[in-house]
Amino acid sequence: MPATEPRVHVRTVPGRLKVYLGAAPGVGKTFRMLDEGLRRRDRGTDVVVGFVESHGRKLTEERLDGLEIIPRLTREYRGARFTEMDTDAVLARRPEVVLVDELAHTNIPGGRYNKRWQDVEDLLNAGIDVLTTVNVQHLESLNDVVQKITGVPQRETVPDEVVRRADQIELVDMPPEGLRRRMVHGNVYGPEKVDAALSNYFRVGNLTALRELALLWVAGRVDEGLQRYRAEHGIGGVWETRERVVVALTGGPEGETLIRRAARIAARSAGGDLLAVHVARSDGLADASPAALAVERQLVESIGGSYHSVVGDNIPQALLDFARAENATQLVLGTSRRSLVSRSLTGPGIGETTVELSGDIDVHMVTHEASGRGRHQHPPRAGQPPWRRLGAPVAAVAVPVLLTLVLTTGRSALNLTSESLLLLLGVVGVATLGGVVNALLASVAASLLLNYYFIPPIHRFTIDTANNVLALVAFVVVALVVATIVDQARHLAHRAARATAEAETLSLLTHDVLGGEETIPALLTRLRETFGMDSVTLITRGATGGRTILATDSVAGPADLDAAPRRGAVDEEVAVTDDAALILRGRPLPAADRRVLTAFAAHVRAALDRARLAHAAAEAGPTEAANRTRAALLAAVSHDLRDPLAVASASIGSLRSELTADVPARDRNELLAVAEEALDRLAELADDLHDLSRVHTGALVPRPQATDLPLVLAAVRAELGELGSELTTRGLDAVPPLAADPALLERVLTNLVADALQHSAGGAKIVVAASALADRVEVRVVDHGPSLRAADRGHLFEPFVPPSDTGAPDPDARTGPTLHLALARGFAEAMGATLEPEDTPGGGLTMVLGLPAWREG
């Protein structure tokens, strides 16, 4: 491409990240990214290539010819030269868009960062847009799942959050059959690798499973974006993009039936979600047993659903609000446990009301064994709904008037005492409905009506006898006393029910903590659901007053504290520590909720302290390990180095004392040979100790590749010299190539064979046998020397640990741990291999080295 004057692009806002996600190598992620780069270049955008790996694919290289490429940075590592993206050069060039391949790549040591995605964040912070690629097996959350599917561990990973923060995620999809045809045509790997790839990593089953993982992961990301869009635009209706089934639980005997029915409904649709919700009234729910709810929660989670708890006085509305917030398509309820008589007296229940208000949410009313068998009544509600607040004063006037109309029609059948008691009963009813103030109003109205209509002289507000005056006064006093007692009982019932609700909430919170859900995100989710808030955010404040978001939980996407809350919502702040606080956005919280809110804050504070301690412990871990290694190395100086030093010193001392004597040349040469051998052994130990320290401090970085076992064994024989003739091999040609670092594997086998030779009986051969099992290869190093004592088995791979002292020495037992085995296990684990001891039949020790077979991709 002709050289042009590069443009310098300066932007103060962060750049945008677009990720091309694929299910497997070869689906076309890099090709699609290059196409996008060319399209933007043709549109006039300043586009450069920061790093793109073509893997020798002709079509990819043709696309690269049309773009400006930033020269790569060359680094040397372990005697080889590697190229990496020159991040500083890209920052200095300051293009509008940069193309960066393989987001999960691990950088060669020596750069600013360990991972390429960290370099990409620097580019984004500089205002440069980035197009990048990643395979689903490199996502941190799916790494272990992919390993189970393919049998191949992925050491290069990228945190999910890095990819989730991308402004765009494009799935590059291809059916398994199409990808396999692409491989056969040579568009992915060279011809020499195609057969092995098709029969291993790129099997149809593997590719189908990886494709499903990629589709589901992207679907979840799309769903998050949809929820955020609905929240930002105030869309409350249900969009049936995915089946979500909500089942309402009360802690009653019908719970298990409802859960299983809802699970079957959700299972009818691929990817359907099951959500269980319990609505706790602000005054508690009398028949909601925490123990029963805990059992139902365990059942929900065991079948793959999620359990939620929300607070609401209007249960049907709370259920529907939750369902709409979760974009649920179906709601499962149990039919009423109330009897037919109860339903006819009290009107429609929760189920009928929910159906009437459900709108576009399908409601399933499920019958069960407890239907119509009656239930306990709820205690009075905390606080009065609007209809009660308006209706109570009206009833205070209307009830005495209506009773008076009724009583006047039966004046001849009733006396003054009966009339007074019936009016008193009306006053008590008003007290139950509206409290003592409305009862006072009712008693005044009833007393005036009693005087006017029933106490002689009738239809006049005068009383002709003292007895009637006393009766009227007694009526007013009794009415007020009874109304006060009823009102106090109502308040006590409310307080007791409120305590029940708080106890239930704290019980669920304790269940979360004891059940291992004490992480900060889980606590924030529980807090938001309990109080029905829009979002809950944990922040810390710096010395300058700035705040940092540590964690957040929101109904729709990450909470933006800088944005104004929705209409009617407020921000409630609760201190957690001196520098941390919880910000709850949503409805105003009454003062009575402060106790439970304080309990949540205490749990969050404890979780925050645990997280900080864990972080400090993680940072101190490498230092502690290095200190242990250093102490072990010091112990080795006095333990393993003692014998060669003593031999060399004795030989040199003998030579010095005999310098004046006439020592035959043969004896002098023999002493020099002994000293030289001891010093060689000393140098060998020093090298081994150095290698072991690198293993323990993490300085040893393996480079796995396809490794041929017979070639490695040939190198081991050469390293052992004359001792290599003692080796016998079996089955080496029958196993596939190993996924291992050849140099490290050679060191592992050399140390194992050396240890076996050290303990073998004279003339006994050492056997190295190999066999393949599924996707792994086992290499066995077998000797027929002394057996290992049980007391030494636990310390076999610990360097510098002396053999156990069990009394009299056993001439037929092994001498215990050696530096050879410690080095062998250290190198093996660095490569992701395993090394375990087994007893050799007939006596001796067999070391079993397990390694993964090499897989393309």
Q: What is the pLDDT of residue 592?
A: 64
Per DSSP, 16 falls in state P
**Highest mean pLDDT of the ranges 102-106, 200-204, 327-331, 420-424:** 102-106
- Supply the mean pLDDT for the chain: 76
Q: In this structure, are residues 527 and 600 in contact, taking their beta carbons and an 8 Å threshold?
A: yes
- Model confidence band, residue 703 (pLDDT cutoffs 50, 70, 90): confident
Cis status of the peptide bond prior to 400, with omega within 30 of 0: no
In Å, how far from its chain's centre is CA 687? 43
Q: Which of 291, 322, 324 is nearest to 309 (CA)?
A: 322
Characterize 263-288 residue by residue with b for buried, 16 or more Cβ atoms within 10 angstroms of its Cβ, and e for exposed. Answer: bebbeeeeebbbbbbbbbbbbbbeeb
Which class for 351: exposed (0-12), middle (13-18), buried (19 or more C-beta within 10 A)?
Answer: middle
Q: CA 662 → CA 15, 585, 667, distances in Å?
A: 86, 99, 11
Q: Does position 502 have pLDDT exceeding 70, yes or no?
A: no
Q: What is the pLDDT of residue 380?
A: 38
User: Which pair of tokens denotes residue 815?
Assistant: 């001498």
Q: How many CA atoms lie within 13 A of 90 on its CB side?
A: 31
Q: Which of 736, 730, 726, 732 is nearest to 758 (CA)?
A: 726
Q: Which of 592, 582, 585, 610 is nearest to 505 (CA)?
A: 592
Q: What is the pLDDT of residue 224?
A: 67
How many other CB atoms sit within 10 Å of the CB of residue 665?
7
Please give the single-letter amino acid code of residue 542.
G
Q: For the ranges 7-21, 226-240, 410-424, which has the lowest average pLDDT?
A: 226-240
User: Which pair of tokens denotes residue 311?
Assistant: 């607070």
SS3 content of the chain, % helix, strand, coil (to 5): 50, 15, 35
* Rounded distance between C-alpha atoms, residue 27 and residue 660, angstroms: 82
Per DSSP, 812 falls in state T
Q: Which of 654, 847, 642, 624 is nearest to 749 (CA)?
A: 847
State pLDDT tens for residues 438-474. 777 887 788 788 778 887 778 777 666 666 667 667 7
Q: Which of 197, 312, 168, 181 is nearest to 248 (CA)?
A: 312
Q: Does position 195 have pLDDT exceeding 90, yes or no?
A: no
Task: Return all residues near 709 (Cβ < 8 A) that are at least 6 apart.
Answer: 732, 735, 737, 738, 770, 777, 779
**Highest mean pLDDT of the ranges 51-55, 264-268, 347-351:** 51-55
Q: What is the pLDDT of residue 772?
A: 80
- Model confidence band, residue 248 (pLDDT cutoffs 50, 70, 90): very high
**DSSP letters along 18-55, please?**
EEEEESSTTSSHHHHHHHHHHHHHHTT--EEEEE---T
Please give the single-letter amino acid code of residue 851.
L
Q: How many CA atoms lie within 13 A of 242 on its CB side?
A: 16
Please give the single-letter amino acid code of residue 816.
G
Q: What is the pLDDT of residue 688?
A: 61
Q: In this structure, are residues 320 and 354 in contact, taking their beta carbons and an 8 Å threshold?
A: yes
**With a threshold of 0.85, does the pTM exceed it?**
no
Looking up tokens 């694929």 gives 22
Q: Which of 642, 645, 641, 638 is nearest to 674 (CA)?
A: 645
Which residue would you say has higher pLDDT here, 815 or 542?
542
**DSSP letters along 664-718, please?**
-HHHHHHHHHHHHHHHHHHHHHHHHHHHHHHHHTT------EEE-HHHHHHHHHH
Task: Return all residues near 320 (Cβ < 8 A) that are at least 6 apart.
Answer: 331, 354, 357, 358, 359, 361
* Rounded distance between C-alpha atoms, residue 522 and residue 836, angstroms: 39
- Model confidence band, residue 3 (pLDDT cutoffs 50, 70, 90): very low
- Model confidence band, residue 651 (pLDDT cutoffs 50, 70, 90): low
- Model confidence band, residue 122 (pLDDT cutoffs 50, 70, 90): very high
The share of the chain scoring above pLDDT 70, in percent, equals 69
- Model confidence band, residue 284 (pLDDT cutoffs 50, 70, 90): very low
**Helix residue ranges, H only, 579-664:** 594-639, 642-657
Q: Please give the average per-residue pLDDT across 574-584, as a whole number.
A: 82
How many other CB atoms sit within 10 Å of the CB of residue 411?
12
Q: What is the pLDDT of residue 287?
A: 47
- Model confidence band, residue 37 (pLDDT cutoffs 50, 70, 90): very high
Q: What is the pLDDT of residue 1?
A: 45
